[in-house]
């Protein structure tokens, strides 16, 4: 009898806690994604990455998107900034966020502590691809913002067969990093970006100017046909070359304003997350899954 009373009391206490924290418990139970950290040894360093995936898993046709953070940003900050998690919650993709060394990537010559320490981020990212997609059975894409975009360009220049496409958001390749093979590339720029100048007449800390880089990519990707140009309420212009060499595509999104920020969606213009999804999946630009 005492044991039954004790069990009943324990149940009531547990029930009371559950009622008090009911919203939290339900949120955990109904959460549509998993969030897992992994690590492995690459050279002398232990490198980590975060995977956000649907609870139910995905077919091999679903893409993997690897996101390289901007300088001085944690993974949590990058996840909040790029707004790609809704595509995971909608059971459409899997996101991978490699952890940068002291919040920086060594794109060879830049940037931050990773460059100063000469971290071999190329080796890490190549090992990461092998770990998350053995045999390259799934579509795999890279997204890089700012310093992460410079790292994405480094992959384009040295290992173009590592992925199926990339999105470079407001970042330039390092000097000597030259794209030589057709690839699927989405570039995002802003006319008032203080870091990446829009034209050679504009001030900026990186080179080349966005217009020059796009011209170089057109030649490298053999994009000879006339592009399709779409304008969104004078806020953003999207130029797309859909028949480049080897069937690859080049797209260039230019915002009239926004500086060096990761472009958010607005009521009159799609955000970077919507353009990234549309470009990678070859689908029309659509609202973010709700």
pLDDT tens for each residue of 94-129: 999 999 999 999 999 999 999 999 999 999 999 999
Average pLDDT over the chain reads 90
Strands 250-255 and 185-190: parallel
The model's confidence at residue 27, banded by pLDDT at 50, 70 and 90, is: very low
Q: Tell me: cis bond preceding 242? Omega within 30 of 0 counts.
A: no
Q: What pLDDT is recorded for position 32?
A: 74
Closest C-alpha among 172, 177, 128, 175 to residue 148: 172
Q: What is the mean pLDDT of residues 75-82?
A: 97
Count CB atoms within 10 A of the CB of residue 284.
6
- Beta strands 94-98; 140-145: pairing state: unpaired
DSSP one-letter string for the chain: -HHHHHHHHHHHHHHHHHHHTHHHHHHHHH--EEEEEEEEEETTEEEEEEEEEETT---TTS-EEEEEPPTT--HHHHHHHH--HHHHHTTS-EEEEEPPBTTB---SS-SHHHHHTT--HHHHHHHHHHHHSTTS-S-EEEEEETHHHHHHHHHHHH-GGG-SEEEEES--PPTT----S---EEEEEETT-SSS-SSTTS--SSSS-HHHHHHHHHHHTT--SPPEEEEETTTEEEEEE-S-GGG--EEEEEESS-TTSPPPP-SSS--HHHHHHHHHHT----PPP-
- Residues of the chain with pLDDT > 90, as a percent, come to 87
Rounded Cα distance, 173 and 206, in Å? 9
Q: What is the mean pLDDT of residues 75-81?
A: 97
Q: Tell me if 213 sits within 8 A of 173, measured CB to CB.
A: yes
In sequence order, what are the residues at sequence separation of 6 or more whose Cβ sits closer than 8 angstroms to the Cβ of residue 57? none
Question: How many C-beta neighbours within 10 Å does residue 122 have?
Answer: 18
- The structural domains of the chain, with segments of one domain joined by +, span 34-281
Contact 258, 194 (CB under 8 A): no
- Residues in contact with 114: Cβ distance below 8 Å, sequence separation at least 6, in sequence order: 100, 101, 102, 104, 105, 106, 121
Provide the β-strand partners of residue 168: 144, 187
Q: Confidence band (pLDDT; 50, 70, 90) for 211?
A: very high
**pLDDT band at 5, cuts 50/70/90?**
very low
Q: pLDDT-based confidence at 26, cuts 50/70/90?
A: very low
- Which tokens go with 56? 């139910």
Are the beta carbons of 156 and 179 closer than 8 angstroms?
yes
Which architecture, in CATH terms, is 34-281?
A: 3-Layer(aba) Sandwich (3.40)
């Amino acid at each position: 009898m005492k044991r039954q009373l004790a069990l009943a009391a324990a149940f009531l206490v547990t029930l009371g806690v559950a009622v008090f924290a009911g919203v939290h418990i339900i949120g955990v139970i109904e959460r549509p994604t998993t969030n897992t950290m992994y690590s492995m040894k690459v050279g002398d360093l232990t490198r980590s990455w975060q995977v956000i995936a649907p609870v139910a898993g995905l077919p091999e046709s679903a893409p993997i998107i690897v996101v390289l953070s901007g300088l001085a940003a944690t993974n949590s900050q990058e996840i909040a900034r790029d707004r790609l998690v809704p595509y995971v919650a909608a059971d459409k993709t899997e996101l991978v966020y490699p952890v940068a060394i002291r919040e920086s990537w060594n794109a060879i010559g830049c940037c931050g502590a990773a460059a100063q320490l000469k971290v071999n981020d190329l080796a890490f990212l190549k090992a990461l691809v092998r770990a998350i997609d053995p045999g390259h059975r799934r579509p795999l894409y890279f997204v890089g913002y700012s310093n992460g975009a410079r790292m994405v360009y480094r992959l384009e220049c040295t290992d173009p067969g590592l992925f199926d496409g990339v999105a470079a958001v407001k970042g330039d390749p390092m000097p000597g990093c030259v794209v030589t093979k057709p690839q699927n590339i989405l570039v995002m720029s802003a006319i008032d970006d203080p870091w990446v100048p829009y034209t050679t007449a504009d001030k900026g800390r990186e080179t080349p100017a966005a217009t020059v880089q796009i011209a170089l990519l057109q030649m490298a990707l053999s994009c000879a046909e006339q592009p399709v140009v779409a304008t969104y309420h004078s806020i953003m212009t999207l130029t797309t070359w859909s028949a480049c060499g080897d069937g690859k595509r080049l797209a260039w999104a230019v915002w009239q304003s926004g500086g060096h920020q990761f472009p958010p969606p607005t009521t009159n213009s799609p955000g970077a997350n919507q353009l990234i999804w549309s470009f990678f999946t070859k689908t029309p630009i659509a609202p973010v899954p709700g």
